[in-house]
A and B are shown apart, each in its own frame.
Chain A
Amino acid sequence: MAMTRRDFLKRAGLVTAGSFIGPGVLGNPFLRKALADTIGDRYFVVLFLDGGNDGLNTVVPVSDGSGTLRQDYEAARESNGSGGIRLLTTDLASTWIGTDPGTGAQLALHPAFRNATTGGLHRLYQEGHVAVVQGVGYPKPNLSHDESRGKWETADPLGINGFGTGWLGRYLAANYVGTDIPAFCVRGSIPGDFAQNATSILATSRLESFGFPYDDWYPGDWAAHENAFDALYTEAAGSAQALLKYTGDVGRATFDATQLFPQLHTQYATDRSSWSATYNTGGPNGTGTSTSRNLREVAKVIYGMKSGLFPTLNTRFFEVRKGGFDTHSDQGGAETTGQHYRLHREVSDAIEVFYEDLEDMGVANKVCIFVWTEFSRRIPQNANGTDHGSQGPALLIGGTVVGGVYGKHPDITPSVVENNDGNSPYLQGPVSTPFRSTDNRDVFGTLLKHWLMMPAANIPAVLPLDPTGPSYDPMDYWQTANFDLGFLP
């Protein structure tokens, strides 16, 4: 039977950089050398909540503090009828976290973050392993999914640096070469934050089935195919032409990876079969979801590294995507059938089992998980959901993460929300009360400095400040960096 395009895509993994882009800033060998650093024996996992997670129903005010935060929340979120998405203080009784650094108001996580049996992400918070960073955004927010995702991924929200690369991609490009595979993205394509043109990245949804898309009906041809690919990559890798050499290196890395990565699946499934089953089994843990199974793929690679059985393996960066957060409609509140509840529950329980697996492997202190979304949602709700907004909370989880609440809750006073620019509960607030308390580049910079061990002096090449001048109000733009937000030691 002939292989269809669909079958081809299902079989084929992908090892490549995000795109072929110009040499840009990283073409300079001196700069590359200056940037070269090491993540050491640590791992970094990015979990992207695709669609725009509603931050106001993720980190929720329980009290007013010195302001009117709870009152304002109740004004924005209705409790009646089918469109009620308000979380009552009784709904939040089991998920209190810290207080808002701005107003002192008590905050709580969405009730789905508490698993009655195992505790969920809220238990990890109580144990001091979760940092909640409020009000994370960027200047001149855009409400389009694609645009906003791109602004986060490039860390170039004003589009003036001409990077075309991702903020993590720039780090990888400074530290790895084409034959390395430092990163594994559990998805069908390479996300923008990893985009660069210097090193290889693995993108496949399942390690088990990662391989060349040979036609199963003609196994006798496989050896010839492999020889042909081998010759092709060897020829290209020996080329003096940079792009051709890069293509050859990536091909070589792909070829070798098809041999290596499926073994990681087998090793993990053999050595950690009960953990493997936990990820895959629904039940009290609420696992058995795509997020838990995708994090299991990450665990397979981390186990492969930790076990020392695969000396050529050096993959320490990961990305997992969870979609469905575009809750214009049917968002729901605290009821367990609500769409937002289900999304949070899936994320919370998946992170919990992943964390426990890491603890059992003895590497929980070596892993940092960064959870982000392209924007939060509108402060006032629509009929039964929420429309696109701007800033929102980000989460950091890990054994060495300094748990707590960072960044101020946005000011959601109705008059501020309504009168802001005459245009927005979703654009940045007036200078006196900005909705965005934390620039996302401060979060990235803190990760680069404190987790990926990049010297602060080198970070501006990866994360340049916004310009100054009459059209760039220093209250709105990112002109002073703070790479010591405190959530990592």
Chain B
Amino acid sequence: MAVRVSPRRCAVGATAAIALIALLGRGAGAVVVGGGGSLATDCLAVFDAPANYPADGPKQVRCVDGDPTCDSDNLVDGVCTVAVVVCVNSTAVGGCTLAGVDSVTVDHALDNGDPRFDPDFQAVQNRIDNELNLPSSTADVCTLTTSIRVPIKGPIGNNRCSHRTKKLKLETESDLIQGRRYIDRDTLRVTCYPAPANGCDPQTLFAGTFDRVQKQIFNQSCAVSSCHDSNAQAGGLILEVGATPGNLIEVDPVNAAALGAGWKRIDQSSPTAGSPETSFLYRKIMGDLPDAGYGERMPLGRPRLNGTLRDLIEAWIGAGAPATGWVPGTY
């Protein structure tokens, strides 16, 4: 692990640089993070990111939602959008004599049913594949910036929130050196903390009740790899942005038992009223299904959704599952 001011990159953000001048007492620039592993191989791939923790040798990004030094959208929106660059053959890591990278593989970047697949990691891998022209022995070759988006946890309960961390992991292989291949494993931890003022207020973070359902439930627990994303379409159901709520309201479920019982995915009696008890989506989330023919509780193989979120979706469906506006009791 080594940290230096990048000799090459200074585009990650002037604001980030200003914060780091005080931190490092050096010239302007983003922070190169070796990412861990043996010092001898650490220069093969490095991160260039607004790292700020620990203060005496930053190797992680700890970001408060909306902080312009690390959250590039500069908005309190419940998500830290952190600009990350990957460089190979770095000259900013001391003590490393290797040069020549054969391949860089990002963990959880393949949409192949991996439950921890993350589209942001896929975007990093695409940048590496498209922009670095590997294999390469050229010094300090970098991708352009990719946004790693880390949502905070919550709001749940009485509008409580907490931080969440994503770990961006790389495995970098050197070219063959006298018949031997060296591997550099790097991890960048990116943590997002709620903003101190209003940072956990649903009406600050979301545009309305359905937006909250989409972002806090569907995006995080349902529209994930091998489940209800468009590549897997489990049960013929997609819960990605744009597919919902049109594919839910008054639409017949695929499940034969639920269909036979006359349920809908969301049973909407009018635009302002609905019935959670005959809405298959709600019953699957609750897990109180009449018999095995109705299938498993959702999210499959994951913990039950938090009580606040179960109440959220019940109130939303009960109010007729409106696409916009706030349903009382959901903020």
Contact = CB atoms under 8 A, between A and B. Distances in A.
A144 B233 contact: yes
B147 A330 contact: yes
B231 interface: yes
A81 B73 contact: yes
A337 B144 contact: yes
A53 to B, nearest CB: 13
Interface in A322-340: 323-324, 326-330, 337, 339
Contacts of B123: 327-330, 339, 385
A145 interface: yes
B231 A337 contact: no
A323 B147 contact: no
Given A329-B123, A329-B147, A1 B111 contact: no
- Most B C-beta atoms less than 10 A away, residue of A329, A343, A420: A329
Given A82-B147, A143-B231, A384-B149, A424 B240 contact: no
Interface stretch (A225-233, A375-383, A403-411): A375-383
A384 B247 CA distance: 22
A419 interface: yes
A108 B146 CA distance: 27
A289 interface: yes
Contact of A425 (B75, B146, B243): B243
Nearest to B248: A422
Contacts, number: 106
B250 A422 contact: yes
B126 A339 contact: yes
B189 interface: no
B133 A328 contact: no
A324 B129 contact: yes
B247 A423 contact: yes
B91 interface: no
A339 B247 CA distance: 30
Contacts of B146: 330, 339
B246 to A, nearest CB: 5
Given A143-B231, A383-B149, A425-B242, A82 B73 contact: yes
A329 B119 contact: yes
A91 interface: no
Contact of A424 (B73, B75, B145, B247): B247
A419 B246 CA distance: 7
Interface string B228-263: 011111000010111100110111000000000000
Interface string A64-104: 00000000000000000110000000000000000000000
B241 A383 contact: yes
What is the interface of chain B mostly: helix, strand, loop, or mixed?
loop
Contacts of B79: 383
B241 A387 contact: yes
Nearest to B134: A290
A450 interface: no
Interface in A357-409: 378-385, 387-388
Chain A contact patch, size range: 35 or more
B114 interface: no
A346 interface: yes
A382 B149 contact: no
B178 to A, nearest CB: 10
Contact of B242 (A1, A346, A379): A379
Contacts of B163: none
A91 to B, nearest CB: 18
A323 B110 CA distance: 13
A387 B122 CA distance: 13
Interface string B127-148: 1011101000000000011110
B86 to A, nearest CB: 13
B157 interface: no
A426 interface: yes
B172 interface: no
B130 A324 contact: yes
B143 to A, nearest CB: 10
Contacts of A145: 111, 231
A288 interface: yes
B246 A422 contact: yes
Given A81-B75, A82-B147, A382 B242 contact: yes
Contacts of B133: 288-290
Given A81-B75, A425-B243, A328 B119 contact: yes
A422 B248 CA distance: 8
A32 to B, nearest CB: 38
Interface in A424-461: 424-426
Given A324-B130, A337-B145, A380 B241 contact: yes
Interface in A119-161: 143-145
Contacts of A385: 119, 123
Interface in A284-299: 288-290
B179 interface: yes
Most chain B CB within a 10 A radius of its CB, from A1, A337, A423: A423
A418 interface: yes
B126 A324 contact: yes
A424 B131 CA distance: 34
A404 B111 CA distance: 36
A187 interface: no
Which of B79, B146, B240, B242 neighbours the largest number of chain A CB atoms within 10 Å of its CB? Answer: B242
A480 B48 CA distance: 56
Contacts of B129: 323-324
Interface in B92-130: 111, 119-120, 122-123, 126-127, 129-130
Given A82-B72, A328-B119, A339-B127, A143 B247 contact: no
B191 interface: no
B81 to A, nearest CB: 5
Nearest to B75: A81
A145 B149 CA distance: 24
Contact of A426 (B75, B81, B230): B230
Contacts of B130: 289-290, 323-324, 339, 342-343, 346
A330 B72 CA distance: 13
Interface in A1-39: 1
Contacts of A290: 130, 133
Interface in B35-79: 72-73, 75, 79
A180 to B, nearest CB: 33
Nearest to A379: B242
Contacts of B249: 422
Nearest to A146: B231
Nearest to B178: A1
B119 A380 contact: no
Given A143-B238, A378-B242, A387-B229, 4 more contacts: A346-B130, A381-B241, A383-B79, A425-B242
Interface of A: 1, 81-82, 143-145, 288-290, 323-324, 326-330, 337, 339, 342-343, 346, 378-385, 387-388, 418-420, 422-426
3 closest A-B pairs by beta carbon, nearest first, are A328-B119, A330-B123, A329-B119
25 contacts: A143-B230, A143-B238, A144-B230, A144-B231, A144-B232, A326-B126, A328-B119, A328-B123, A329-B149, A330-B120, A330-B147, A337-B144, A339-B130, A343-B130, A346-B130, A378-B230, A378-B243, A382-B241, A383-B149, A387-B240, A422-B247, A422-B250, A423-B246, A425-B242, A426-B243
Interface of B: 72-73, 75, 79, 81, 111, 119-120, 122-123, 126-127, 129-131, 133, 144-147, 149, 179, 229-233, 238, 240-243, 246-247, 249-251
